[in-house]
Structures are given as structure tokens and as C-alpha cells.
Amino acid sequence: MPRYFFHIYDEVFVRDDEGMELTDDDAARRAAMAGIREMVCEQVKKGRLVLHHRLEVEDAAGAPVMSLAYGDAVAVEP
Amino acid sequence: MSTPLLQAETAPSGGGGALVEKLQTIAPLPKGDRDALAALSADAREMGARRNIIREGDRPDHVHLIVQGWAARYKLLPDGARQITAFLIPGDFCDLHITVLREMDHSIATLTRAKVAYIPRERMEALTARPDVARAFWWATLVDEAVLRSWIVNIGRRDAYEAIGHLMCELYMRMKNVGLTRDHSYELPLTQEEVGDALGLTPVHVNRVLQRMRSEGLIRFARGALTIHDYHRLEQASGFNPNYLHIDQKV
């Protein structure tokens, strides 16, 4: 299974040196979405929501696979 | 992935080391008891990493003892997600009285290369005829239950940062009690995914928290080993109180 790395760009840059073995890009997208939603949840619990932070997914060769803004992972309604 | 950096240097001598060390927490055991316990580890099986020791639905006809390496208790959910419900380190039994049950309600797998002793029921029964051993076994069982209680509190009431910090403190104390720490370092051969599966967190979130702990100068976590730079601060930050491990009776 290919390995994907999930680098976080929020207040700071958090490099993922370990990565996760996942079946394909779709599985990587699901893992990215789940990660973003969980971090957003914890922010919201503390009364804060920042939607422009990003998660960048790379493959084992370091090539970009996808870039997701936190806002892409949640539908926000007034 | 996991490098047993510290294990080789700090492993207690003799196969039964960790178990004997652990079971003497409440009181020293007579030599006959110590020898009988140490003998359990003598013919332990070598196992690779990520191998099932026993699976949900299997009939438990042996008691398993982790002699070397790490294992985890886990439950698989219908959607394939995994919840780890315990980490097992050297000296830990996978349920002392499990042979009473007809089938396993969860699975146990190695996380690293490991040595696991398979102990027949009759042999365990013979051991519990020794009063000091029986008492030490009860202590171990009660501590296992206390750890499970503390995990419920951890998952239910702490945020990700506190929960991960709490787990690191707990594993530090447990490793220390079997002689597997050096200063404030110990082998912690867990992936972000495994930490997440134990705490109900995504690996991405776990990585975020670990980075925060590093940047605050609390820990170093690399190549399967954890160093806690500021144990007191980590303990405070995670609300860790080791009372439930009942190891203060030693020393």
C-alpha cells in the first residue's frame, strides 16, 4: 500500500515524518478530512474556528497529492 | 518502524525479569515463588510484529504473558476502525483468568517483535496455590482494571493534548516499574495511528499534538523512543496522578 504524509499548516508548520499506509488517494482524502474535522472540532469546543488553515498531502516521493483548506472539510451555514 | 533502542540495555536479566519485578511491587516474593514465575518465560515463543496472539471468537485455552516487546488489546468495528483498549508491556498477562471464558470478546496482537509465553490453565492454577503469588496476581488484575478506568476518564474527559500526555506518563510509570526506563526515556514503539486508535483520535491530530509537545520542550519522540524532558510539567499538563497504578508501595 502506498504511504501518504499529511503536513499541517495552521499557526505553525507541522511536518508529518511518519505518514500512513492507505489503499489509494480516495482513502488519503478521507483520512485528511477526518483529521481536519477532528482538529476543527477541538477548536470549536474552545470557542474558535479558523477555516483557512491547510492540510497538504504528499506521496512517498514527496509529490503533492492534494491540498485541503479546513473550510473544505466543513459546510458552514449561518 | 520500531527500534528497540532502550530495551536491550535496560531489560531485566533473565527471561522472567519483568514479571517477577512487577509482581514484587506489593511485597517481596519467596525464592520458590520467584523461580516458579521466572520459569513461565523460559519457553516463550518469538513472534513477529503485528501478529495476532489470540482473536475475538477464539477459545482461550492459554494465559498469555508478554515477556519481551509490546502488544495491544483491540476491538474491530464493523467499518474496519480499530479501538485499542490496552497496551501490554513486558511482565503483563493478557488476562490472568481468561481460560474461565468460552471465547474471546476481543483480540490481542503484537505491536513489535515480541516473546510471548503460552501458559496452560493447569500451570496457572498450580501457581495460584502459592498464597503470595495469588495475592500478587490479584494486585495485577486490580491494576489492569484501574488502568481501564483511567482510560475511560482519558477518552471521555480530556482533550487530545491532555490525553496523549496522560498516556505517556502512565506508560513511563509502568515501564519504570519493570525496569525498562533509563532516566526519563523509554521504548515507545507506537505509530501515530496506534496512539490515535488508543485514544479515539485521528493520526493527523496526534501528529499535531506531538509537535506542540516538542515545541514546548516537553518531549522528544523519535525512532520508537520517548524522552520526557520535563516530567513534572507533563504530569501537571495532563492531570496525571499515578495513584491508580498502585506502585507507590514499592521503594
**What's the confidence (pLDDT) of residue B6?**
42
**What's the confidence (pLDDT) of residue A64?**
97
The average pLDDT across B166-177 equals 97
**What's the confidence (pLDDT) of residue B70?**
98
Instruction: Give per-residue pLDDT as tens, B112-135.
Output: 999 999 999 899 999 999 999 999
Confidence band of B250 (pLDDT split at 50, 70, 90): low
Instruction: Give per-residue pLDDT as tens, A17-68.
Output: 999 999 999 999 999 999 999 999 999 999 999 999 999 999 999 999 999 9
Instruction: Give per-residue pLDDT as tens, B72-118.
Output: 999 999 999 999 999 999 999 988 888 788 899 999 999 999 999 99
CB B165 within 8 A of CB B210: no
Nearest by Cα to A6 from B205, B194, B81: B205
Nearest by Cα to B111 from B95, B81, B89: B89
Inter-chain CB proximity A38 and B192 less than 8 Å = no
**What's the confidence (pLDDT) of residue B11?**
44
- Decide if pLDDT at B40 tops 60: yes
Confidence band of B12 (pLDDT split at 50, 70, 90): very low
Residues 6+ positions from B223 with CB-CB distance below 8 Å? B3, B5
Inter-chain CB proximity A18 and B192 less than 8 Å = yes
The average pLDDT across B188-217 equals 97
Nearest by Cα to B8 from B180, B250, B162: B180
Least confident of B53-67, B95-109, B183-197: B95-109
**What's the confidence (pLDDT) of residue B225?**
97
How many CB atoms neighbour CB B107 within 10 A? 18
Q: Pick A55's closest partner by Cβ from B159, B201, B204.
A: B204
Task: For chain B, list residues whose CB is within 8 angstroms of any CB belonging to chain A.
Answer: 159-160, 191-193, 201-205, 207-208, 211, 215
Rounded Cα–Cα distance for residues B17 and B8 (Å): 13
Residue where the block lists cell 495513584: B243
The H or E element that residue A37 is part of is helix A25-45
**What's the confidence (pLDDT) of residue B249?**
66
Chain-wide mean pLDDT for chain B? 91
Kindly report the pTM of this predicted structure.
Answer: 0.92
The b/e string for B152-184 (b: 16+ C-beta within 10 A; e otherwise) is: eebeeebebbbbbbbbbbbbbbbbbbbbbbbee
Confidence band of B170 (pLDDT split at 50, 70, 90): very high
Inter-chain CB proximity A31 and B203 less than 8 Å = yes
Inter-chain CB proximity B204 and A45 less than 8 Å = no
